[in-house]
């Protein structure tokens, strides 16, 4: 360790440490900063090239190298820092990463061995101050205070979390699950993970920064200097897998992530959500005051390796540190891969010499970006080593083309696209290694373009999967009490701020938000729509009242322009149903009242017009008790009653009394007493509809097809309903009651003499609309005996069969006129 000037800028997040390091580096003629994330290195690079000429600035990461010939300033990931350069300034960001279980040894090596010619700067948490002191060098400590206050706000459900919030998870699966929940409840979230390509990550961050979404779901990568306009950070979990085991985050790690809430002078809040347990009061105090336990030990691995032979190499890797504050890191991924190949050097064609072992070790350090398939990573390392160790010493164009061809596919979901990008990153890393591939510049460009294309596609898929832009725009506006621009299109679609939110169906505004989205804000959204939808509903009500163009359908609903605006419900009797409006609550009460009164009047007028004879029967003012009694029975039976049920009333009626009822439309038939006008199609439909509505049953029953006089239907089981429709039952047959009376007249006219055979004539079949066989069956049910002779059908009244009382009164020896009179037929 050389005796150079060191400045340690230490303090919590949001203290401007990184900004200070950048400004300090640019004040020197040359310099380099190592960052913990590729994303952060790229972000700083993009900022610096806006300040100074891009030909003076280099970007060096595993998968991306932009190194101008005259570069003076180098922005790198810590792993990719060139350690053989002589530069005025060297800085290491997030230096407390020396204590990280996975990457700590790299940071520790830079802490111990990498120095600037004039100044070395370490930026990070105050927890490492004690260790930096142990370097025994000329060190100046600059303690930075946080620029804003950080406050713990406890547990909150995701549905209640405010905007400008990051929700932290520690696995890809958790990130996706939370993002889906936020999409349903809040409209959507941007995704930030360390594994994302810079282009995808930047596009996602831009979604958040632009305000298209108000929420961010991120891994702990957000804790490493990624600066965004966050007011709140919520942890969905406080445990992470550190490469060896699942462990709880320590206070310093929690503080690092929580500290991303509140930028510059704006205060921030942090809390927990989901199933994450509350942080204790003691921990809260430490976090809010940024007081964390000092780091007492750093992870270390020998970087001065002995490549003379395989045994020496392994021995040097396993060497232990000579300081009590250094600890040998657990076997890393590159060590595992190395030992795999050295286990059987002969099979793997590895010569036991310095040059070969140095090459193998370099190949073993290819990052395992995919991480899910260890065997695949071993295969990649082996292939690369075999090419580099061959006579030509480079990976061929054909092999590179084949690898990228497999990955050059834009279809698929988030997982498949992410997997392809991870694989492309591997080949990008390989392409960026000096002299590893043929036509290096071509493959660097090719892998970059492919990664960018896949990144754009991944951004689209993430946005499509985890962001409901419509709901997000509306949620943001509602939370900020914005005035919305609301429009109703020609097709009745309702648009708010250019986002489709629903349809205006009749007098009902139907929201079209996905299940669960904005469920807590529906009332607010309707309030926003009221300014345009309300007046339109009022205008429609006036139009309905003025035109009267409404229709009552079989589902008991009243329609305007194919949309229900009201429905019938049970009233005091079946001719007086009550009305229930089907309108939106955006409609004002006085407009509802006007509409209700209009529809009630319209329904009453329709009933009075179509069922006039039934209404007149109900309103009959008659002192004669026999007339009143029969009228009451007929009204109660909806205008149709079997004659046998009112025989006693009929005995008491003279011709004058009958005339009173005939004038009202009553027919006195052989089998039935009925109001003949009620057998018209419109009257049957309305009567049955009102009857079903009043009784609140038999909803599935429908009147027979209008125009049919005869039905041969075993499925028509409800005889009462069929009688209501005007059909009498004979076993499986139904005959319209007015047609039955006309048929009987035809029979009487065809057989004026007693016991004479009656020939079936076409007029009878035409009247019924049935086949000869069905006519024979029907006529036998009516106490006639049928016979066939000379290819014709004859039938004769059969007095031996038990017949109804009404038949016994008929004297068939009389003239047709007298018979008709006895039958009381009109």
pLDDT single digits (tens) 776-801: 888 877 777 888 877 788 887 776 55
Extract the tokens encoding 25: 């580096």
pLDDT tens sequence across 254-302: 988 998 888 777 889 999 998 898 889 999 999 998 888 999 999 999 9
pLDDT greater than 90 at residue 30:
yes
User: In a 10 Å sphere around its CB, with 0-12 CB exposed, 13-18 middle and 19+ buried, how is residue 498 labelled?
Assistant: exposed
pLDDT tier, 697 (very low <50, low <70, confident <90, very high otherwise): confident
- Give the angle 809-811-817 at the CA atoms, nearest 5°: 110
pLDDT greater than 70 at residue 226:
no
Q: Which of 54-58, 176-180, 487-491, 676-680 has the highest mean pLDDT?
A: 54-58
Average confidence (pLDDT) over 166-184: 89
Between CA 197 and CA 419 the distance in angstroms is: 12
pLDDT greater than 80 at residue 815:
no
pLDDT tier, 469 (very low <50, low <70, confident <90, very high otherwise): low
pLDDT at residue number 378: 93
| Minimum mean pLDDT range among 358-362, 452-456, 609-613, 618-622 | 618-622
Dihedral class, residue 698 (left if φ above 0, else alpha if ψ from -120 to 50, else beta): left
pLDDT tier, 420 (very low <50, low <70, confident <90, very high otherwise): very high
pLDDT at residue number 593: 94
User: In a 10 Å sphere around its CB, with 0-12 CB exposed, 13-18 middle and 19+ buried, how is residue 655 labelled?
Assistant: exposed
pLDDT at residue number 57: 97
Q: Percent of the chain scored above 90 by pLDDT?
A: 43
pLDDT at residue number 601: 94
Q: What are phi and psi of 502, to 5 degrees?
A: 165, -175
Gyration radius of the chain's alpha carbons: 46
Between CA 544 and CA 31 the distance in angstroms is: 79
Chain-centroid distance of CA 709 in Å reads: 54
Strands 298-300 and 268-272, sheet pairing: unpaired
pLDDT tier, 818 (very low <50, low <70, confident <90, very high otherwise): very low
Average confidence (pLDDT) over 105-134: 95
Question: Residue 467 has what DSSP assignment?
Answer: B
pLDDT greater than 90 at residue 9:
yes
Rounded (10°) angle between helices 397-407 and 414-432? 160
Average confidence (pLDDT) over 315-329: 94
Average confidence (pLDDT) over 108-126: 95
Q: What does pLDDT average to over the chain? A: 85
In b/e form, how buried is each residue of 204-240, taking b as 16+ CB within 10 angstroms?
Answer: bbebbeeebbbbbbbbbbbbbbbbbebbbbbbbbbeb
Hey, is 77 helix, strand or coil?
Answer: strand
Cα distance between the two ends of the chain: 127
pLDDT tens sequence across 639-665: 888 888 888 888 888 888 888 888 888
Closest CA to 336 of 307, 386, 390, 377: 377
Q: Which residues pair with 151 in a beta bridge?
A: 269
CA atoms within 13 A on the CB side of 143: 6
pLDDT greater than 80 at residue 79:
yes
pLDDT tens sequence across 328-354: 998 898 999 999 999 888 777 788 999
């Amino acid at each position: 360790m050389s005796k150079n000037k060191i400045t340690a800028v230490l303090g919590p997040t949001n203290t401007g440490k990184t900004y200070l390091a950048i400004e300090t580096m640019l004040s020197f003629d040359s310099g380099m900063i190592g960052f913990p994330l590729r994303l952060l290195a790229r972000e700083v690079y993009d900022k610096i090239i806006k300040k100074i000429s891009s030909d003076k600035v280099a970007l060096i990461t595993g998968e991306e190298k932009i190194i101008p010939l005259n570069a003076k300033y180098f922005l790198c990931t810590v792993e990719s820092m060139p350690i053989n350069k002589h530069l005025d300034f060297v800085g290491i960001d997030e230096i407390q990463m020396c204590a990280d279980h996975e990457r700590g040894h790299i940071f520790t090596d830079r802490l111990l061995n990498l120095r600037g010619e004039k100044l070395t700067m370490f930026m990070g948490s105050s927890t490492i101050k004690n260790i930096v002191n142990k370097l025994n060098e000329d060190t100046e400590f600059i303690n930075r205070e946080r620029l804003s206050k950080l406050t713990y706000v406890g547990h909150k459900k995701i549905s209640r979390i405010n905007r400008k919030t990051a929700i932290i998870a520690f696995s890809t699966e958790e990130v996706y699950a939370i993002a889906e929940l936020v999409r349903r409840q809040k409209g959507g979230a941007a995704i930030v993970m360390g594994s994302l390509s810079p282009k995808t990550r930047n596009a996602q961050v831009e979604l958040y920064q632009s305000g298209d979404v108000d929420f961010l779901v991120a891994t702990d990568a957000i804790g490493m200097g990624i600066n965004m306009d966050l007011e709140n950070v919520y942890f969905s979990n406080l445990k992470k897998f550190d490469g060896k085991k699942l462990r709880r985050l320590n206070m310093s790690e929690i503080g690092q992530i929580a500290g991303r809430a509140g930028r510059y002078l704006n205060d921030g809040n942090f809390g927990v959500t989901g199933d994450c347990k509350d942080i204790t009061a003691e921990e809260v105090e430490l976090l809010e005051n940024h007081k964390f336990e000092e780091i007492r030990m750093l992870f270390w691995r020998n970087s001065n390796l002995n490549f003379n032979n395989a045994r020496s190499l392994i021995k040097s890797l396993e060497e232990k540190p000579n300081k009590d504050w250094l600890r040998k890191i657990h076997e890393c991924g590159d060590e595992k891969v190395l030992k795999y190949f050295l286990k059987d050097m002969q099979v793997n064609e590895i010569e036991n010499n310095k040059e070969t072992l140095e090459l193998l070790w370099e190949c073993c350090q290819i990052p395992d970006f995919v991480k899910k398939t260890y065997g695949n990573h071993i295969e990649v390392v082996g292939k690369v080593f075999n090419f580099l160790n061959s006579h030509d010493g480079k990976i061929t164009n054909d092999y590179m083309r084949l690898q990228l061809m497999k990955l050059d596919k834009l279809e698929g979901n988030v997982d498949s696209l992410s997997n392809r990008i991870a694989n492309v990153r591997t080949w990008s890393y390989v392409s960026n290694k000096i002299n590893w591939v043929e036509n290096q510049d071509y493959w660097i460009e090719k892998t970059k373009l492919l990664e960018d294309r896949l990144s754009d596609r991944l951004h689209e898929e993430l946005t499509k999967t985890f962001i409901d832009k419509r709901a997000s725009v509306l949620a943001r506006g509602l939370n900020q009490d914005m005035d919305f621009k609301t429009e109703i299109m020609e097709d009745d679609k309702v648009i708010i701020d250019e986002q489709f939110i629903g349809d205006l169906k009749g007098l009902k505004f139907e929201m079209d938000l996905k299940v669960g989205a904005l469920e807590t804000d529906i009332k607010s959204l309707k309030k926003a729509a009221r300014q345009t939808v309300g007046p339109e509903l009022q205008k429609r009500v006036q139009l309905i009242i003025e035109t009267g163009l409404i229709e009552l359908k079989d589902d008991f609903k009243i329609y305007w322009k194919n949309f229900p605006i009201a429905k019938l419900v049970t009233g005091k009797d079946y001719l007086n149903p009550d009305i229930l409006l089907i309108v939106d609550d955006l409609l004002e009460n006085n407009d509802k009242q006007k509409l209700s009164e209009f529809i009630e009047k319209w329904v009453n007028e329709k009933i009075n017009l179509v069922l006039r004879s039934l209404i007149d029967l109900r309103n009959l003012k008659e002192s004669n008790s026999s007339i009143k009694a029969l009228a009451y029975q007929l009204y109660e039976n909806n205008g149709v009653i079997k004659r046998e049920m009112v025989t006693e009333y009929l005995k008491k009626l003279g011709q004058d009394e009958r005339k009173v009822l005939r004038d009202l439309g009553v027919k006195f038939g052989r089998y039935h007493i009925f109001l003949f006008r009620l057998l018209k199609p419109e009257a049957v439909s309305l009567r049955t509809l009102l009857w079903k509505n009043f009784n609140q049953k038999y909803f599935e029953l429908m009147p027979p097809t209008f125009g049919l006089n005869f039905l041969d239907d075993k499925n028509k089981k409800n005889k009462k309903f069929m009688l209501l429709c005007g059909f009498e039952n004979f076993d499986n047959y139904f005959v319209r009651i007015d047609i039955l009376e006309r048929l009987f007249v035809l029979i009487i006219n065809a057989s004026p003499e007693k016991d004479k055979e009656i020939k079936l004539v076409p007029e009878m079949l035409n009247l019924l609309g049935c086949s000869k066989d069905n006519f024979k069956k029907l006529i036998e049910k009516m106490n006639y005996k049928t016979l066939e002779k000379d290819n014709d059908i004859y039938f004769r009244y059969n007095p031996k069969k038990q017949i109804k009382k009404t038949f016994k009164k008929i004297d068939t020896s009389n003239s047709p006129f007298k018979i008709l009179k006895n039958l009381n037929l009109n």
